[in-house]
Amino acid sequence: MSSHEMITLHLKVWRQNGPQDQGHFEDHTLEEVNTHMSFLEMLDVLNERLMKEKKEPIEFDHDCREGICGSCNLVINGIPHGPQAKTAACQLHMRHFNDGETITIEPWRATAFPVIKDLVVDRDAFDRIMSAGGYVSVSTGNAPDANAIPVSKIDAEAAMDYAVCIGCGACVAACPNSSASLFTGAKIAQYAQLPQGVPERKRRVVAMVEQMEKEGFGDCSNFAECEAVCPVGISITAIASMRTEYVKAMFS
């Protein structure tokens, strides 16, 4: 970790015109990078320079830049979201890199996440998994009182631990099998803890697991790489919960 206010970085950035393009790495050197910058701000500086040179800027995804939306899906030096644990790429700061360091920047690598352009991938597969069953059906009308359906503190906290998943896809990018089990498991487990999720419990898990398989994600082999890179710290107990729910739904 550098203590310098300004550092020089050598960047190897993946460039790809679309899912059918072979793609390649492009080398850039940035001097006087302020260590207080976020990683995305550093890319902004690079793009400003490229545009001044009449060159095509690098496409990368972002939205809130607050570690909430999950859009900033970058593989940095081989690690989804970079070297800082429980930190989305947009919240990663350049003080975690050394002066003169070479940084390799790539998109998520998974068949189910085709590259749209450069560092931007299509994560619609996650949306289709959610559409298959990641919700609860409710009657319209006035909202019920908060205490109308008793939920224990333990169950509520467990549901929230899974519900914080931001759907960034780092779990898929880190998995040797490109499995979406952590994401899907978290979305199933959050409802399995609550009474509101009970009526559609069996249909939900079967539909979501089947959709996950249709999208071309690999199987989980319990490497736990997904948990290691998750920016919000989702536990692989979500996968165990999903498997339990699936077995119960299929054989009960």
Summarised one tens digit per residue, pLDDT across range 90-102 is: 999 999 999 999 9
Radius of gyration of the chain (CA): 20
- Report domain extents, the chain: 6-116, 123-251
123-251 fold: Fumarate Reductase Iron-sulfur Protein; Chain B, domain 2 (1.10.1060)
147 pLDDT band, cuts 50/70/90, is confident
pTM greater than the 0.85 cutoff: yes
Give pLDDT, residue 139.
80
Share of the chain above pLDDT 90, in %: 91
Mean model confidence pLDDT for the chain: 95
Burial 166-190 (b: 16+ CB within 10 A, else e): bbbbbbbbbbeebbbbbbbbbbbbb
- Give the Cβ contact number of residue 145 at 10 Å: 7
Mean pLDDT over 216-235 rounds to 97
Please report the pLDDT score of residue 143 as a whole number: 76
Give per-residue pLDDT as tens, 42-54. Answer: 999 999 999 999 9
The tens digit of pLDDT for each residue in 159-202 reads 999 999 999 999 999 999 999 999 999 999 999 999 989 999 99
Quick check: 3 pLDDT over 60?
Answer: no
pLDDT at 241 over 90: yes
The fold of 6-116 is Ubiquitin-like (UB roll) (3.10.20)
Spatial neighbors of 180 by CB under 8 A, at least 6 apart, are 112, 125, 126, 129, 171, 172, 212, 215, 217
Mean pLDDT in residue range 205-219: 98
**Given pLDDT bands bounded at 50, 70 and 90, which one contains residue 55?**
very high
Q: Which of the pair, 72 or 145, is modelled with greater confidence?
A: 72
Residue 90, phi-psi category: left (phi > 0), alpha (psi -120 to 50), beta (remainder): alpha
Q: What would the pLDDT profile of 102-130 be if each residue is shown by its tens digit?
A: 999 999 999 999 999 999 999 999 999 99
Say what the pLDDT of residue 140 is: 78
**Extended strands (E) in the chain:** 6-15, 24-34, 75-76, 79-80, 102-106, 115-117, 120-121
pLDDT at 142: 83
Confidence band (pLDDT; 50, 70, 90) for 145? confident
Q: What is the predicted pLDDT for the residue at 4?
A: 58
- What span, in angstroms and rounded, lies between the C-alpha atoms of 44 and 222? 37
